[in-house]
Structure formats: C-alpha cells, structure tokens
Amino acid sequence: MLGLTFVVSGVLKAMDIYGTELKFIEYANSTGLQFLAEYNMPLSVMLCAFEIFLGLWLMIFIYRTISLSLLVATTFLFTGTIIYLMINPEKNITDCGCFGEILPMGMSASLLKNIVILMLATYLLWSARNVQIKFNKKYVAGIFGCLFASLLLPIYTANNLSLYNPTGYGEGTDLRGNEDFVVLDDNFENVTDSLLSTSDEVYIFVLKQQPTQSDEFKMKDIWEKCKGNSINCFSLAHNEYKLPNGINQYYADILMLKSLVRSKENGVIVLKNGIVKNVHILKDY
C-alpha cells in the first residue's frame, strides 16, 4: 500500500509535469530556495521519477531495509516542509501538490497523510531491522528495472504536452462565455467575443516566451496557410514579442497562457465554434 501510494503520487505529478514544475517553483520561492527555480524542470522530472522508483522498489520487496529507510527519510523531509508552511501562512500555499493538480489536497490533509505513512514506514523498518542485506544480481537488476521504468513517463511529458490538463482549458473546452478567458488588444480593450464569434476554425499561437527562430518559421508557415484559406490566425501573449510580419498580436494573463498549453514551450491551439479542438507544441506542429 505504501509503495502504491508513492507510485500513484509520482504518476499523477508526471502526467501534468508542467503543473508540477509550477508547484516546485512555488515551493522554492516559499522556502527561500529561489536558486533552485532555475532548474525547476529537471528537478520536477527527478521528483516524479524518484517517487515512482521508490514506490516500485517497495512493491517488489527487495532490500526492504534500504527502501524503507529512504521512505522514512523522504516522508520526514516532506512532513517538515508542510509543517513549516503551515506555521507560516503568509507563504500562501493551500494545495500541497502531493498528487499534482489532478488531485488537489489541502495542507492539513497532507500532514495527516504523511504522519500515517511515517508511522507505518517506521514500524515496518523496525520489523525488518534484523534482515541481512546480501548482494544478489537479480535483486540489483530488479532495482535498476524500477529505475528505468520510473524515468519513462516524466521524461516523456517534460518534452511533450502534459497528458492531462486539470485547469479547465483542455481539448473539448468551450471558451465562449468563459469569464476567465479574456483577450485584450493593443488598447487594452476586451476583444474576446469578437475573436470567438466565428463558427470557423481559429488558430491561436500561445506565446509564453519570445518565439525561437524555429517557432517563427512554424508560425509563418501556419499563418500563410490560414491566410490562403481565409482562416483567422493570431498570437496570444503576455508581453509584446517580435513576430513575423502580418501576424496580429493580442494579450492575455500569463496564468491563462500557462493553462492553455501545459508545456514549457510555446504552443498553438485550434478552435472550432469556440471549442478547443487541438493543442500542440508549436515546434512539433
């Protein structure tokens, strides 16, 4: 059960690893470890992989004293962090992120969960204290197998779109009438309704950072094809970026942009009747 809990936790985080990255940054800023934010995605991948790895290791009952010791140390660290944030409410973290944004959990519930895990793990470790550790090639191979399996999902989602978008902006979402979806023009006028009023397809470049040269080539190619077929195509960004000539630029809140495309990369979304039809990473489109 303890192993399964860690596997589920790691998998849910990895399914939306971009959300895990944002939560990691939030934790780093709240605990005075801002310097770690520079490595947020690699560390997010390592966190997800470690939880899956540890969970799988616990489930195969190999070298239990080592795996249980890691479990106790990890849970102790997580519990200490939760307690620190709870006694410092100005840090303003209400969701622990234990199971990613897919399954929200409050800080109090997380603390209770960690205490139960810590008690069970400590008891199991004490029960296995007399078990001798003997080198066995099959056991070592099993552990490396767990390590390899744990890396697959986090590495995949770190280089692609998240497998699940928990923000309410995923494929199939109707953006018309969504009060949180707001698009502004150069004069800061709300032009959301006019842009979504068409029943035809609409291509939107979602820019969270200055487009790379590769992004610009993709944007120009898509824009020219849309223009040739009389399809509306424009960019949506938080800041004013230099874009290929002819592409209209509108503005939106950065959190909304991060919710539209769950990836560290710029993206493109396709709407039909105001409904999100497809979401892609721009460089891979």
Residue 165's pLDDT is what?
A: 85
Domain identity same for 53 and 103: yes
Domain identity same for 203 and 123: no
Residue 101's pLDDT is what?
A: 80
Residue 203's pLDDT is what?
A: 92
Q: What is the DSSP string of 90-113?
A: GG---B--TTTTTS--BHHHHHHH
Domain identity same for 129 and 14: yes
Domain identity same for 277 and 229: yes
Residue 131's pLDDT is what?
A: 65
Domain identity same for 129 and 214: no
Q: Which residues pair with 154 in a beta bridge?
A: none
Residue 245's pLDDT is what?
A: 74
Residue 205's pLDDT is what?
A: 93
Domain-terminating residue out of 158, 175, 208: 158
Q: Which two tokens stand for residue 171?
A: 């494929």
3-state secondary structure the chain: CHHHHHHHHHHHHHHCHHHHHHHHHHHHHHCCCHHHHHHHHHHHHHHHHHHHHHHHHHHCCCCHHHHHHHHHHHHHHHHHHHHHHHCCHHHCCCECCCCCCCCCCEHHHHHHHHHHHHHHHHHHHHHCCCCCCCCCHHHHHHHHHHHHHHHHHHHHHHCCCCCCCCCCCCCCCECCCCCCCCCECCCCCECHHHHHCCCCEEEEEEECCCCCHHHHHHHHHHHHHHHHCCCEEEEEECCCCCCCCCCEEEECCHHHHHHHCCCCCCEEEEEECCEEEEEEEHHHC
Give the residues of the chain that fall short of pLDDT 50. Answer: none
Residue 244's pLDDT is what?
A: 73
Residue 46's pLDDT is what?
A: 93
Residue-number span of the structural domain to which 81 is assigned: 2-158
Domain identity same for 152 and 227: no
Q: Is residue 233 part of a domain?
A: yes
Residue 133's pLDDT is what?
A: 66
Q: Is residue 34 part of a domain?
A: yes
Q: How many domains does the chain have?
A: 2
Q: Is residue 216 part of a domain?
A: yes
